[in-house]
Structure 1
Amino acid sequence: MRQITDTILMVRPVAFRMNEQTAVNNYFQKQLEGEDINALATKEFDEFVEKLRSVGVNVIVVDDREKDNTPDSIFPNNWVSFHENGNVGLFPMFAENRRKERRMEYFAKLEEAGFKIANIVDYTAAEEDDLFLEGTGSLLLDRVNQKAYCAISPRADEELLIEFCEDFEFTPVIFNAYQSVGDKRLPIYHTNVMMCLGEEFAVICLDTIDNKSEKKNVIKHLKDDGKEIISISEKQMHEFAGNMLQVQGAEGKKYLVMSARAHRSLTKDQIASIEKHCEILSSEIQTIETCGGGSARCMMAEVFLPKAN
């Protein structure tokens, strides 16, 4: 099994803006006034894709369509996951206007690119019961050690997580993660804003796990699997320093992909710890982060599918 891939699916936006339906529990989102938000986001998107391609990452770009009015389509990792055995997970989404993001023609594009889809495992019926599990936003998958780290939230239901783990043969590592909003501690909407799993390391905001035994359990799993733990502060998490993804470029070279904002927030020691394992690749995506409340990792759906013979 591989933990990282050299192929990424990304969706170019056409209706990007702050999504009022997700803002109710995504405390990272903010409104930007008086700009053509979609034009700014598209420019950031295209520059980001170019940076990935320049180091040899295979980026398959698909275009959103205006008629769907999907402001968050730029974050495809929330509705789909791709696996080495050819299985695809389809996930139930909290916001109604995000459900239109699930478009089967994207799979045809992957098949045209030579990938094989064997089976689609569809959890979307859970939306009828107001139960959600938002893909690799909610699920931090250690594909090699077959563990799924998940912070329970309104967008990550525990029973659905367990069902996914049974279907895909992962062991669940369940915890609660909180962020300070005003004078309250509120659940973090997606696990992947406080945690990133690389091949040999994990970047994680342990300060968000308030329960000591849950925190110990997460640390134990990471250490048992030989991961170096690189801790970030809650302040750095708010700069999207947890929202990173390790990918593979040309000639097997590895990169940790993040936003320029996340990169700027890191200390010299944290950067040195990361660079022991791989190079850092960062891109300026300020508009996307501010309005979307998601960052670099959310924009990349990793493709692990087998190649068709």
Structure 2
Amino acid sequence: MKQTTNTILMIRPIGFRMNEQTAVNNYYQKVLDNVLPATVNAKAQEEFDNYVEKLRSYGVNVIVVSDTKDSDTPDSIFPNNWISFHQDGTVALYPMFAENRRLERREDILDTLEENGFVIENVIDYTSAEEEQVFLEGTGSLLLDRVNKKAYCALSPRADEELFIEFCEDFEYTPVVFTANQTVNNERKAIYHTNVMMCLAETFAVICLASIDDKKERKNVVKHLKEDGKEVIDITEAQVNNFAGNMLQVRGKDEERFLVMSQAAYDCLTKDQINKIEKHCKIISSSLDVIEGCGGGSARCMMAEVFLPKQ
């Protein structure tokens, strides 16, 4: 079992904008005043292309599929929420909170992966849960420790506990459940995705412990991370607001490990935090300001990790 992969699927945006359907519980989204939608999309495409180029320059295998013009999918740039790929050739499809995000699920993306030599043995489809208004948004909601077979999940309107447990039974993961909050207008509200406040790498975890208000839950999460030998690197809520939790460890050329994050995330880290991360691996950062501002997601959300076996 591997925790990191060299192959990433990314979706190039065509109609990127602030998605009004996700803004109801994604408190990181902002309206960019006086900026035309076409400008927002053009800037997002530019950030996307620079990001892909940067990843490839470090030897990361990025498979880029373009979004389609015929559907209104402003968040298609974040594929990790509707699909996940596993080492035994299984693909999982997930139920999405926002109705327009359900249009992101595309059969032809699986064909593209097969054309690239990846083997798909089996598809587990959880999407019928949408009919019951039950959601679990892929590796946005689930953080998978693939080596130790543990799945971390911060419950929210987009991460249902029962469905999470069902996923863990299907994929044989031990569930680690908790609630993570952020302060919105002086109120504590659930953070919409686990991967905004936590990143799980091979030998370390970056996590905002202060967002886990329940002391017992916080202790339990730390206990699981430490017993699996991971160094816990704590970040603040202010850093989470700059997407410092939304990072992903990938493999580049010659199996070298990198932690990928946005420029905003990198810029808000302290010297000490950067040193702690760099003891484990190098950092790649890329500017994603417009994507973060309008999309309320960052570097991690844009990468769907491909762990499928090759032919």
TM-score, normalised by the number of residues in structure 2:
0.99
Percent sequence identity over matched residues? 68
Q: Distance in 2 between matches of 1:66 and 1:252?
A: 36
Q: Which residues of 2 match residues 59-98 of structure 1 at below 5 A?
A: 59-98=62-101
Q: Distance in 2 between matches of 1:34 and 1:296?
A: 22
**Structure 1: runs of 5+ lacking an equivalent:** none
1:66 CA drift (Å): 1.3
Q: Distance in 1 between matches of 2:125 and 2:278?
A: 38
Q: Does 1:139 align with 2:148?
A: no
Letter in 2 for 1:171: T
Q: Select between 292-301 and 33-42 the one with higher mean Cα deviation.
A: 33-42
Counterpart selection for 1:99 from 80, 98, 102: 102
Q: Distance in 1 between matches of 2:158 and 2:7?
A: 26
1:95 CA drift (Å): 0.1
Partner of 1:19: 19
1:67 is paired with a residue of what secondary structure?
A: coil
Q: Distance in 1 between matches of 2:107 and 2:12?
A: 16
Q: Cα deviations across residues 134-163 of structure 1 (Å, max 9, x unaligned)?
A: 000000000000000000000000000000
Q: Distance in 2 between matches of 1:272 and 1:18?
A: 34
Q: Cα deviations across residues 165-222 of structure 1 (Å, max 9, x unaligned)?
A: 0000101000000000011000000000000000000000000000000000000000
Letter in 1 for 2:231: E
Letter in 2 for 1:304: F
Counterpart selection for 1:294 from 293, 297, 309: 297
2:298 is paired with a residue of what secondary structure?
A: coil
1:297 is paired with a residue of what secondary structure?
A: coil
Q: Distance in 2 between matches of 1:188 and 1:237?
A: 10
1:116 CA drift (Å): 0.1
Q: Cα deviations across residues 42-86 of structure 1 (Å, max 9, x unaligned)?
A: 000000000000000000000101110100000000000000000
Letter in 2 for 1:7: T
Q: Distance in 1 between matches of 2:143 and 2:190?
A: 16
Q: Does 1:187 align with 2:187?
A: no
Q: Cα deviations across residues 248-267 of structure 1 (Å, max 9, x unaligned)?
A: 00011110000000000000
Q: How many residue pairs align between the two structures?
A: 308
Q: Cα deviations across residues 2-26 of structure 1 (Å, max 9, x unaligned)?
A: 0000000000000100000000000
Q: Distance in 2 between matches of 1:174 and 1:258?
A: 25
Q: Distance in 1 between matches of 2:203 and 2:98?
A: 34
**Structure 2: runs of 5+ lacking an equivalent:** none
Partner of 2:287: 284
Aligned-residue RMSD, C-alpha: 0.4
2:166 is paired with a residue of what secondary structure?
A: helix
Q: Does 1:34 align with 2:39?
A: no
Q: Distance in 1 between matches of 2:115 and 2:195?
A: 30
Partner of 1:214: 217
Q: Distance in 1 between matches of 2:227 and 2:271?
A: 27
Q: Distance in 1 between matches of 2:95 and 2:72?
A: 18
Partner of 1:272: 275
2:5 is paired with a residue of what secondary structure?
A: coil
Partner of 1:129: 132
Q: Cα deviations across residues 94-153 of structure 1 (Å, max 9, x unaligned)?
A: 000000100010010000100000000000000000000000000000000000000000
Q: Distance in 2 between matches of 1:170 and 1:179?
A: 27
Q: Distance in 2 between matches of 1:40 and 1:146?
A: 39
Letter in 2 for 1:92: P
1:71 is paired with a residue of what secondary structure?
A: coil
Q: Distance in 2 between matches of 1:120 and 1:43?
A: 33
Q: Select between 31-40 and 64-73 the one with higher mean Cα deviation.
A: 31-40
Q: Does 1:252 align with 2:255?
A: yes
Partner of 1:174: 177
Letter in 2 for 1:229: V
Partner of 2:244: 241
